[in-house]
Structure 1
Amino acid sequence: MGVMIGDNKGQWQLVSEHSALQMLTSATPLVTERREKFSWGTGDMEMVQLFFQNIFIVYGDMHLRQQHFRMLNFDMPDTVELHFSLQGGGTVYNRLTGDTFQFRANEHNITYVTELEGDATYNCEVPHTFFEVHFATPYFIELAKDLNSAMEHFLENVSKRKDGSIAVENRTATIPMLQCIRDIMNCNYKGGLKLLYLQSKCMELLSLQADAFAQVETRSVLRSAGDKERIIYARDYLLSNLSTPPTIDELSVISGTNSFKLKRGFKELFNTTVFGYLNNARLDNAREQLLSGIPIKNVADELGFSSVQHFSSAFRKKFGCPPGMLKKHL
């Protein structure tokens, strides 16, 4: 997996590259540990990586000198991530799927991301400290099946290779979760005992998260006809501004609600996130334009895709064929 960081001038720098997939699927019975430091024009990162069969742990600190930057992950292994933000905060908007990921101190979520080209915004005043456990997807599905209804719904999407999180809103990390994370970071065992200890702690952390999301409030946030009308108005506004969509906060103000109710209400009414809905609408619009004879590059530019390549990737994922082959598949 590789990670590239870009600035607002379109300059990209490779900051990390390693074969996580090879490590995850390796038959070696023990733990491989790697400590790395990276520097690029607008920031520095220091992290620890622990690999063993079917599980990849990574944690560290990111210090930024610029609030906004672009990020591109490539050759991503097929994994489900237990994500914990321990300090700092920010957001990443995935241009390829329309998903927005929030990172706030002492919060957690479980995510599945197959591809990422993101617009990132982070707080530069404090370091961003993170902790992640990545499970090879087939292994995670076996571990997590039949846990609870929230997990079942998430696994259903994972099985379809549909990017997203187990819940729209992050949950607050509990004391047992934070203690489990500290235990992993401070593990001093060697050899086979270290492997067994880390495996057991990863299972414990997964169990704690699964229990937390089983308790997520299921009551509707749309408690009046007015609440529903505001979500529908927000949807209509998005459809009218496909090429220059507002942020979540801007759309909340425009539709007369708050960001929490907007995101939860969108999920209730349309069974997708705000930007997931936007991304689908953009691709449907692109399909109609292509069928009318508009060139691929013009369509990609008009709808705000960063490049023809990334437009083609998103289009193929939704419709099962590249834009140039659309008419032949009808």
Structure 2
Amino acid sequence: MPFEIKNKADNSILHSNELSGKDFNSEKLVEQNMHLNLPFADVQMKQWYFNGIRMGYSNWHYKERMEMEWKGDLDMVTLYFNMKGKTTITNKNMDRPFELGKYQHNLFYSQSGEGILKNDELFVNTFMIQFNTDAFLRITEGANDVLKRFGDDVLLGKTVALSDTNLYMDINMINAINAIVGCKYQDDLKKMFLLSKSMELLVLQAEAYHAFHHSAVRYLKTEYDKERIIYAREYLVQHLDMPPGLSDLAKVAGINEYKLKKGFKELFGNTVFGYLAETRLELAKTDLLEKNKTASEIAFELGYSSVQHFSTAFKKKFGVSPTKCS
């Protein structure tokens, strides 16, 4: 049985998947959309797979907190990104459970395993990229020491996590995932695009590990502080047109201004206003490529002082003017 999930309470099978790691070796890109209407949850899922790589995006709306038993022998490397909610994963082959909160990620490998999957919140949004062992070792050949060490464990068949401490997603990871989910390309061009993004996320994850474990100073020492920084980010994104100043954002988040500045950079790899600028421009690029809005409309909605100011910032980041991007 490659993968199966059961309700721990009554042992009923909730979901089973007969596909194994080898089944993802399709030369053609395979795309699937699924809707699971379970007694305890409504689930929307998308998956893409090709050349030993599988990507999965899912939205879970639980009616109650659940504990589910999982069992599988997929023999795959998994990049796991928890976008929303909190999920606890135990594997009998690991010495402790992994609790992935909002915007946390990690890299796992297991030939087989079984354990408990628990949702600690009612809304959970996840994204994952899985590589069968051949694909992972091929892609990471010549990689940095972080991925080389991980690859050595894969070769030995060891159950392993990249980081003992879950890492936090930065704007580049979030943008890459959004680009995958919203990709409009078709067939071979889409396959090429998804491959490039899977490699980008793998590199970003290795960089995040290196940055976290080589940071000289940590400003966020408690989970509460991290939650406040995440809330500050969400508030900022919700007010792109009229963003608050640092002091106002600190008050909204319930944290002092110094810790907001230092903690935001520590968690998301950018300053508050650097992140604001990046997010505005990435959203603008998406709207222009999808021809949803004009440059003037985008400049106004995202709070730029003028179309010229927007055009200058856009060209500085992407190398082309907004009119040539649309």
> TM-score, normalised on structure 1?
0.60
- Asked if the contact 1:63/1:124 (under 8 Å) is kept, the reply is no
Listed as ranges, the matches of 1:134-283 within 5 Å are: 134-217=130-213
Provide the C-alpha distance between the structure 1 equivalents of 2:70 and 2:113, rounded to a whole number of angstroms.
6
Q: Deviations over 1:269-318 (max 9, x none)?
A: xxxxxxxxxxxxxxxxxxxxxxxxxxxxxxxxxxxxxxxxxxxxxxxxxx
**How far off its partner does 1:22 sit?**
4.5
Partner of 1:21: 21
Q: Deviations over 1:181-238 (max 9, x none)?
A: 0110011111111111111111111111111112232589xxxxxxxxxxxxxxxxxx
Provide the C-alpha distance between the structure 1 equivalents of 2:176 and 2:200, rounded to a whole number of angstroms.
8
One-letter identity of the residue aligned with 1:203: M
Listed as ranges, the matches of 1:249-328 within 5 Å are: none
**How far off its partner does 1:17 sit?**
1.9
Number of aligned positions between the proteins: 216
Partner of 1:3: 4
- Asked if the contact 1:60/1:129 (under 8 Å) is kept, the reply is yes
Provide the C-alpha distance between the structure 1 equivalents of 2:13 and 2:37, rounded to a whole number of angstroms.
10
- Asked if the contact 2:91/2:116 (under 8 Å) is kept, the reply is yes
- Give the superposed CA RMSD: 2.2
**Which residue among 108, 112, 115 is the counterpart of 1:115?**
112
> TM-score, normalised on structure 2?
0.61
**Which residue among 91, 94, 119 is the counterpart of 2:91?**
94
**Which residue among 45, 48, 54 is the counterpart of 1:47?**
45
Provide the C-alpha distance between the structure 2 equivalents of 1:209 and 1:21, rounded to a whole number of angstroms.
22
Partner of 2:102: 105
The change in CA–CA distance for 1:73 and 1:37 in structure 2 (over 3 A counts) is farther
Q: Deviations over 1:5-64 (max 9, x none)?
A: 2233x42214132424353123x3x21111112233322322101011111000111122
SS in 2 for 1:189: coil
Instruction: Say whether residues 1:77 and 2:74 are aligned partners.
Output: yes
Unaligned runs of 5+ in 1: 221-330
The change in CA–CA distance for 1:95 and 1:65 in structure 2 (over 3 A counts) is farther
Provide the C-alpha distance between the structure 1 equivalents of 2:213 and 2:17, rounded to a whole number of angstroms.
39
One-letter identity of the residue aligned with 2:7: G
The change in CA–CA distance for 1:191 and 1:145 in structure 2 (over 3 A counts) is closer
Partner of 1:266: none
Instruction: Say whether residues 1:132 and 2:128 are aligned partners.
Output: yes
One-letter identity of the residue aligned with 2:119: Y
**How far off its partner does 1:96 sit?**
4.4
Unaligned runs of 5+ in 2: 217-326
Question: What percent identity do the matched residue pairs reach?
Answer: 24
